[in-house]
């Protein structure tokens, strides 16, 4: 069934996943997951859904409250990221997850746009703990090879130096000027944790 473009337009603005009804799958057609024309035309096939995705999320620490969401949209209204980037919409992510759109969620670029500000966390009337929930989704995505390369590189740097920023002779010369003690150039204990937790192995970033 082709979705009425006028209805789509109307609802696209308020980002409700209600703008179309597809045969057999109910109210999924309006889930414009990438804002591309192609995605708008592609119907969601119930056979592609993973109904146990919600269980998978709930089984991780931080994801337990996903079922409490009653889609009020407070998170999306308070979210600073949603205000500046239409790709990001926490309520939509939760709806997609609950509906079992596992692949679409995990391979999306938008899950990485959560700035972790906890605005949704503080305002959610259902205590869904959305930050933690999105982090669980990111963790699952990372283990399936979707960790953005910049974040992967960051972990490699931390593994090497024990910190995200480099401390060299230069920094320590600066510190000496102000009578501050030297910082160690590497922190082996951090590298050891990353090694023992098999971090890079888990996210497909293991050094060759």
Partner 1 sequence: MNKQALFLGCTVSGRALNYEMSSRKVAEKCGIELVDIADFGCCGYPVANADHDTYVTMAARNLALAEKEGCDVVALCSACLGSLAKVRKSLNEDTEEKDKVNKILADQGLEFKGTARVRHFMHVIYEDVGPERLKELFTVDVSSLKVAPHYGCHYMKPHEIFEGLDDPVAPHTLDDLISATGAEAVDYAYKLRCCGGGVLAVDENAPINLVHHKLKDVKAVGADIIALVCPFCAVMYDEYQSTVEDKKEEEFGIPVLYLPQLLGLAMGFDWKKDLLINKNAVKAKKLLQEKGLLDQGGDQ
Does 207 bind partner 1 (CB under 8 A)? Our answer is: no
Given the complex with partner 1, which of 69 and 203 has the nearer CB atom? 203
Contact pick of 14, 59, 115, 125 for partner 1 (by CB under 8 A): 115
Given the complex with partner 1, which of 9 and 143 has the nearer CB atom? 143
Distance CA 16, CA 9 (A): 11
Considering only residues 170 to 189 of the shown chain, the ones binding partner 1 according to CB under 8 A are: 171, 174-175, 178, 180-181, 183-184, 187, 189
Given the complex with partner 1, which of 23 and 179 has the nearer CB atom? 179
Distance CA 154, CA 186 (A): 15
Answer for the pair 192, 153: CB distance below 8 angstroms, yes or no. no
Distance CA 179, CA 45 (A): 66
Answer for the pair 62, 127: CB distance below 8 angstroms, yes or no. no
In this structure, what token pair is assigned to residue 181?
């003690």
Given the complex with partner 1, which of 5 and 186 has the nearer CB atom? 186
Specify the stretch interacting with partner 1 by CB under 8 A; choose among 5-13, 24-32, 50-58, 197-205. Answer: 197-205
Considering only residues 65 to 94 of the shown chain, the ones binding partner 1 according to CB under 8 A are: 80-81, 84-85, 88
DSSP secondary structure of 81-120: HHHH-TT--HHHHHHHHHHT-HHHHHT-SGGGG-----HH
Distance CA 206, CA 118 (A): 31
Does 52 bind partner 1 (CB under 8 A)? Our answer is: no
DSSP secondary structure of 130-164: HHHHHHHHHHHHHHTT-S-HHHHHHHHHHHHHSSS
Does 53 bind partner 1 (CB under 8 A)? Our answer is: no
Given the complex with partner 1, which of 44 and 110 has the nearer CB atom? 110
Looking at the DSSP bridge assignments, the partners of residue 126 are none
Does 126 bind partner 1 (CB under 8 A)? Our answer is: no
In this structure, what token pair is assigned to residue 137?
């989704």
Does 58 bind partner 1 (CB under 8 A)? Our answer is: no
Footprint of partner 1 (CB under 8 A): 60-62, 80-81, 84-85, 88, 112-119, 121-123, 131, 135-136, 138-139, 142-143, 147-148, 150-152, 154-155, 158, 162-167, 171, 174-175, 178, 180-181, 183-184, 187, 189-190, 192-194, 196-197, 199, 202-203
């Amino acid at each position: 069934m082709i979705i009425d473009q006028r209805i789509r337009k109307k609802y696209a603005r308020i980002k409700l996943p209600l703008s179309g009804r597809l045969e057999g799958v109910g109210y999924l057609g309006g889930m414009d997951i990438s804002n591309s024309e192609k995605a708008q035309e592609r119907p969601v096939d119930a056979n592609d859904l993973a109904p146990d995705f919600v269980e998978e999320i709930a089984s991780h620490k931080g994801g337990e409250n996903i079922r409490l969401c009653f889609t009020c949209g407070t998170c999306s209204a308070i979210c600073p990221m949603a205000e500046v980037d239409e790709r990001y919409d926490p309520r939509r992510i939760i709806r997609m997850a609950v509906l079992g759109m596992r692949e679409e969620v995990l391979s999306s670029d938008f899950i990485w746009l959560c700035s972790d500000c906890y605005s949704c966390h503080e305002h959610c009337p259902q205590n869904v703990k959305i930050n933690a929930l999105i982090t669980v989704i990111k963790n699952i995505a990372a283990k399936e090879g979707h960790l953005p390369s910049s974040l992967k590189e960051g972990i490699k740097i931390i593994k090497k130096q024990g910190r995200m920023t480099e401390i060299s002779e230069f920094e320590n010369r600066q510190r000496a000027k102000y009578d501050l003690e030297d910082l160690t150039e590497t922190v082996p204990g951090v590298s050891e944790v990353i090694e023992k937790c098999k971090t890079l192995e888990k996210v497909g970033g293991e050094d060759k």
